[in-house]
Amino acid sequence: MLRALIFDVDGTLAETEEAHRAAFNQAFADLDLHWRWDRPLYRDLLGVAGGKERLRAFLDHQDPGDASDALIADLHRRKTAHYTAAVARGAVPFRPGVATLIAQALAAGVTLAIATTTSRVNVEALFAGNGDAPPLAAFAAVMTAEDAPAKKPDPQVYHRALLALGLPPADCLAIEDSVNGLRAARAAGIPTLVTESVYTAGDNFTGALAVRTDLSRIGLDAIRCLHAGGGA
Ligand code: XBP
Ligand code: MG
CA of 230 to the centre of ligand 1 (A): 32
Active-site positions read 8, 10
Is the Cβ atom of 157 under 6 angstroms away from ligand 1? no
CA of 181 to the centre of ligand 2 (A): 6
Is the Cβ atom of 51 under 6 angstroms away from ligand 1? yes
Would residue 166 be called left, alpha or beta, if left means φ above 0 and alpha means ψ between -120 and 50 degrees? Answer: left
> Which amino acid residue places its CA nearest to atom 13 of ligand 1?
10
Determine whether 65 is exposed, middle or buried from the number of CB atoms within 10 Å of its CB (0-12, 13-18, 19+): exposed
For the chain, list residues with pLDDT below 70: 66, 230-232
What pLDDT score does 139 carry?
Answer: 98
CA of 197 to the centre of ligand 2 (A): 8
Is the Cβ atom of 14 under 6 angstroms away from ligand 1? no
Q: pLDDT (tens digit, 9 = 90+) per residue, 156-167?
A: 999 999 999 999
Determine whether 70 is exposed, middle or buried from the number of CB atoms within 10 Å of its CB (0-12, 13-18, 19+): exposed
Q: pLDDT (tens digit, 9 = 90+) per residue, 201-232?
A: 999 999 999 999 999 999 999 999 999 986 65
What pLDDT score does 180 carry?
Answer: 98
What pLDDT score does 66 carry?
Answer: 67
Q: Which ligand is nearest to the CA of 56?
A: 1
What pLDDT score does 64 carry?
Answer: 73
> Which amino acid residue places its CA nearest to atom 4 of ligand 1?
118
Is the Cβ atom of 181 under 6 angstroms away from ligand 1? yes
